Amino acid sequence: MRPAVFLDRDGTINEEVNYLSSPEEFKLIPGAGEAIRLFNQAGFAVVVITNQSGLARGYFTEETLQKIHQKMCKDLAAHGARIDAIYYCPHHPDDHCSCRKPKTGLVERAAKELGLDLKKSYVIGDRYLDLLLARNIGAKGVLVLTGYGREELEKKLPEIGLEPDIIARDLLDAAKRILQS
């Protein structure tokens, strides 16, 4: 069983676009490709865990989401980086499903399918939900200050009393800190 980095997508790997709904809108955050390549080289499974309620809301189709993910993988490959798996929740928040972050359904599925050690893993994202997911699976939670990260750090985290294990400027900074620990 190997450790994983579970990555949020929007605001962590790519620039935050409210309900990203076309591949043309997808743009990697600078350094994201290098960060994922470093994780690949260090032997971590790199798994994207993302809430995509835009599907349930009718903002985009399953086919469009697949095209966005294909573009992400292609853009990362240009940096010598790869994603081992992508898991997404297509449900509306009001559906109360077991797969929407911070619930653990997607991570549990990934752990079973990929043979992952959750206790040696990290969840990296720009939202408090990512940190709650980390706590719920017994992993370390890393907040990046890209996307909504800075706002979450200043407002939401103090409000709910949640402390990240690591605060990083961006995904590349997070990778360097994790790999140095």
Which are the catalytic amino acids? 8, 10
CA distance 3 to 178: 12
CA distance 92 to 47: 22
Q: Which of 51, 50, 40 is nearest to 3 (CA)?
A: 40
DSSP letter assigned to residue 60: S
Quickly tell me which residue has 């359904």 as its tokens: 105
